[in-house]
Each structure stands twice: as structure tokens, then as C-alpha cells.
Structure 1
Amino acid sequence: MVVLGIDIGGSGMKGALVNSITGEMITERYRIPTPKSRKPKEMAAVVKEIVTHFNHKGPVGCGFPTVIRHGVCKSQGNLHKKWLNLNVRELFSEATGLPVTVINDADAAGYATMNYGIGKGKEGLV
């Protein structure tokens, strides 16, 4: 299955199409600077722009730079205060018209390491 992976970063928001079975990137990444305001609506517009760039019509997975529980931002981190307790999953899904999964970016990296990287097939501490 092809998924659009998006990484929300402090200076840039990056996306690429990914093979969810192998974890391999199918396209080159596309980067747009993170809006200076770091407000939800402006950042959701960039997510939509990334989706539009790839003409993607399927699921989107998004790594987010703060604590996420069930799609909801539980700490504003270095983002605007309007993020606190906002349902990021719903915001990005509404902006794109697509199903979006949002998790903490470090959790996404750990998942990738254990499922596609050096931790694949291993148990315990890696």
C-alpha cells in the first residue's frame, strides 16, 4: 500500500510517498518551510499543499513534533498555544479530505526502526 508520509518539523514540513510494506520511499521528498506562526490552520494548509503536490488520494501518516494521544495534541512544545488539546488528526483530515494518522515524530522513528530498520525481527532492547 502506498501512504503519503509527512514529517512536521520546526523549520520545514516534508512529505514523500512510501511503500508501507517495505518502508521504502517511492518518491523524492518534497519540502515546504514551516509557517513562522506555527498556528494550526496555516500548518494544515501546508499539509494540504503537500498532498496536492503528490496528487495523493490515499491514507496519510504524519509525524508530529510533540505529544499526541489518539490524534490529539497534549503539549504545545515549540508550536503555537492553539495546538494544545486540538485534534490534529481531525484538522489534517478535514484540510486534505483524506484519512490521516498522526503520531509523535520520535514514536514514528522508533516504529520505523523496529519494522523496517535494524530492529526488524528482533525483540527487546535494540
Structure 2
Amino acid sequence: MSSSHEQPLAAQAIGSASETIGDLPKRAIGIDVGGTGIKGGIVNLHKGSLSGDRFRIPTPKPATPEAVADVIGEILDELLSREKAPALEELSVGVLFPAIVDKNIVLSAANIDESWINTDAAKLLRHLPGQIHTLNDADGAGLAEARYGAGKGLEGTVMTITLGTGIGSALVHDGVLVPNSEMGHLEFEGEVAEKKASAAARERADMPWDEYGQLLNRFLKHVERLQSPELFIIGGGISKRSEDFLPEVKDLRAKVEVAALQNNAGIVGAALYAAEQTRLNQARGRS
């Protein structure tokens, strides 16, 4: 039996950490589908930053796959009209969804229209230019933070926790994403974690900031026992108020940092993921 080193390249297990994929293009496009808005931007992959302003269109209601696809098309048209847009022949487009996404199939709808369940997002968007790749929104933000933001250069496991309407999570080990970790759906103190510890849950309960910090501390200790990350990165809009609650987050083995890329993390991560997936497909001999 031949060893893996003797197999054709397309038969080997090649991941985003492999030197086989080579250099990424300078720019790609990221689009982040949210409950209230869909935003996109051109991303400089060498710097992990946006080239120009974001472009945002309100999320249609109802946010059916067809309606959202139309808005994604509008955003892509606008971005491609700009001077710094990637050339069509090397265009990669990453699209994030607030749902579990496995091989471009949307498998959940906790924060998106139920008609998305079992939708093949890549097939839905195949009429658009470029190589389209899709991903969970928290995974996109976490990948960007691990590679360009608060976790840049850190070896080992980095977990980004996004606090908003729900709780998103992204698990990245040595720079490689392990998708769909979904820590917000863990059972925590007798409830689904995001129903108790999300930013929205704090607002519903009118919880004081110090009390929320103590609650978050217990949740992170719960997650730490399961995943043992070297670093927790706290993201989401609430991270702008980190000084109000993070002092209560303590006695963890892991370090805790505030997200560095803020509202651009999803767009940056989507673009990075898409560019790497395009290169991986090329290395594996796929179109």
C-alpha cells in the first residue's frame, strides 16, 4: 500500500494550514448576512483590513433565501464597481449566515428565516460572479480575530465568543478553523446558554453589568472545562462596553481579550475563508 506521500495531490488531506495552497490573492470580498442588515466589503488579505467603506443594505423581510440572494447580488455589484475590486478571474466571495453551515448547506435557523433550513447556499448563489463559499457568521468573525486580530500569532486553541442576540462561538487551533462549535447552545445552569448569558438576555433581565460579568465568568469556566483554549476573545457589539463587565471575568486558566476587529471581523473572516477555500479546491484538483 502506498504512503500518503506517494498519493496524487488531490487524494491527500490538504488543509488551510498547508503550504500547498500557496499565496493568497491580495483582495477578496466578504459579505455578512445579519438579522437586520447585510453588509459587505473588499478585504485586503495581506493586512486583514477593509479596502474602502463597507456597503450595507437592510435585510429583507421575510428574509427568504431568494430575497437574501437578491440583496447579496446588489452588494456584490456595488463592490465590484469599485476601483480596488478584485479581478473577476481571481475573485473569491465569502458569505456568512447566522446558522450552522456544513459544506454550504444551511442546517439551522435559530436567527434566520426557517425557509433556509437545508438550503444549498452555494447553489443558490451560483449565478453570481466569482468562487462563492459560505460559513457560519461567528466562525467567520472568529477566524479573522485569530489570524489578524486579538489572537494573531498565538499558537494553540483560540475561542472567540460573540455576545449579541444569541451567543456565537468560533474554535481555531493553530490558525485553522474547526467550524460550527455552537457553544451558545450548550446547557448552562439549567438553560440553553444563549437564553441566559447573551447580551440580549442581559437586556431582557435588566441585569447590572457587574452581575452580568459574573454570569459570563461562570459560562466561560463551563466552556473552558470542555475546550481548554489558551485565549478567549470576547466579541459582539457588547464588547464596546467591556470595561463594565470584564473586570468580573477572572480566575480562568485562559487569557481573555476583547475583539480587535469589531464590526469588520465577519467581513474580513468571510473573505479570508473564501480565498483559502478557493486555493484548496485548486490544490485538490477541483474547479
Q: Normalised by the shorter chain, which TM-score bucket? A: over 0.9
1:31 correspondence with 2:56: yes
* Aligned-partner SS, 1:93: coil
Which range moved further: 101-110 or 79-88? 79-88
Q: Partners of 2:46 and 2:139 in 1: how far apart?
A: 18
Q: How many residue pairs align between the two structures?
A: 125
> Residue in 1 aligned with 2:147?
115
> Residue in 1 aligned with 2:73?
48
State the Cα distance separating 1:31 from its structure 2 match: 0.4
Which range moved further: 7-16 or 56-65? 56-65
Please, which of 91, 94, 104 is the counterpart of residue 61 of structure 1?
94
State the Cα distance separating 1:89 from its structure 2 match: 1.8
TM-score by length of 2: 0.42
- Higher relative helix content: 2
Q: Give matches, 1:71-90, under 5 Å.
A: 71-90=104-123
Q: Partners of 1:98 and 1:87 in 2: how far apart?
A: 17
TM-score by length of 1: 0.92
State the Cα distance separating 1:62 from its structure 2 match: 1.3
Please, which of 23, 33, 50 is the counterpart of residue 8 of structure 1?
33
* Aligned-partner SS, 1:45: helix
> Residue in 2 aligned with 1:106?
138
Runs of 4+, deviation exceeding 3 Å: none
State the Cα distance separating 1:105 from its structure 2 match: 0.6
